[in-house]
Amino acid sequence: MENRDMIRMANQIAAFYEPYTRAEALKGIHGHIHSFWEPRMRKQIYDYIDGGAEGLSPLVTAALSDKK
C-alpha cells in the first residue's frame, strides 16, 4: 500500500474518534487498526511511525506508539 493511502486511512480513523475523550480515542484507534488491518498494513504503519510519522494525526501516533 502507498504510504499516502495508509496515512489517509489512519487519519480518517482518528477523525472519527476526535469527539471522544483522549483515552477512548486512543483505545478505539488502536483497537480498530489491530482488528481490521492485516498484519502487513500494521507493520507498515509501525515502520512509518518509527521513521517520523510525517502527516499522521498525533492521535494515531499516540495510539500506536507503545502498543505493538
Which sign does the torsion angle of CA 35, 37, 38, 39 carry? negative
| Residue 4 CB contacts under 8 Å (≥ 6 apart), including other chains | 55
- Could you list the residue range(s) of the whole structural domain that residue 51 is in? 3-64
Q: How many domains does the chain have?
A: 1
Q: What is the pLDDT of residues 38-53, one digit of tens each?
A: 999 999 999 999 999 9
Q: Using alpha carbons only, what angle is made at residue 56 by residues 61 and 4, rounded to the nearest 5 degrees?
A: 135
Q: What pLDDT, on a 0 to 100 scale, did the predictor assign at position 68?
A: 57
Dist CA 37 CA 22 (whole Å)? 22
Cα–Cα distances in Å, from 36 out to 9, 29, 52, 57? 12, 11, 23, 19
Mean of the per-residue pLDDT values of the chain: 96
State the pTM of this model: 0.92
